[in-house]
Amino acid sequence: MTRWMWAMMTVALGTAGCQQEQKSALPSRAELKTLSGSTVEIIPKEGQYPYCLLYTVSEKGVIRQLTMTRENRSIRCEPGKRIYNSSFRVPVEEGKVRIYVFFSDQRVQAGSLAQQLYDLRDKPRVTAMDFRMPGSVAVEMLEFTPQAGGDAVPNAVVGTTELNDVPEGAEPEADEPGMQLAAPDAGIQP
């Protein structure tokens, strides 16, 4: 090989290494906090858009919308506070899940987003560009593997939230067939 070829190969390998470092340096938009073997909370970090939707996609292909409201639209998500003011129990029998948090600058309809996520369920990684959503959108994907057993989660919120979307004392309802409401303390019902 000539010196020129060695130089080009060195630059190419150096560039590949830099790209790998940049991917791992991306800041996360939300934190996954494990409370027990199968119960988690999702907490948005500072600097995110004010509205969000939360979905899980399990290894077995089950897709669940966890932030269900009467209007079936995104909810207000405040940095440092758990989403939907709730913890979520993931069924152990469904295996590892990918948790998608969609942050947006405006309230968006959840039904069309759920259908798009269903269409992309086999794609290992999705970005905001994969979805047809109005306004500015950012997506965070977190992975979680539920474990059997574990202690019951104390102080888990059951059906009440501090959100404007749900009247005080009322529980959100599932408006679309096939969508599952995540009952924070009782677990997600299949």
Interatomic CA distance for residues 137 and 112, integer angstroms = 15
Interatomic CA distance for residues 190 and 187, integer angstroms = 9
Bigger pLDDT: 123 vs 140 = 140
Comparing 31-35, 54-58, 89-93, 149-153, the range with the smallest average pLDDT is 149-153
Give 139's contacts (C-beta < 8 A, 6+ positions apart): 100, 101, 102, 103, 126, 127, 128, 131
pLDDT mean over 97-101: 96
pLDDT mean over 36-45: 95
Beta-strand relationship, 75-76 and 51-58: antiparallel
Q: Per-residue DSSP letters for 4-16?
A: HHHHHHHHHHHHH
Alpha helices in the chain (DSSP H): 3-24, 110-119
Give 60's contacts (C-beta < 8 A, 6+ positions apart): 94, 95
pLDDT mean over 76-92: 94
What is the chain's length?
A: 190
Instruction: Indicate if the pLDDT at residue 82 is higher than 70.
Output: yes
Give 121's contacts (C-beta < 8 A, 6+ positions apart): 57, 61, 63
Instruction: Indicate if the pLDDT at residue 132 is higher than 70.
Output: yes
CA 25 to chain centre: 19
State the first-to-last Cα distance of the chain, in angstroms, to the nearest integer.
62
pLDDT mean over 36-56: 96
* Helix or strand holding residue 85 (H, E): none
Instruction: Indicate if the pLDDT at residue 143 is higher than 90.
Output: yes
Which one, of 131, 53, 63, 148, lies nearest residue 97 by Cα?
63
pLDDT mean over 31-54: 96
Instruction: Indicate if the pLDDT at residue 156 is higher than 60.
Output: no
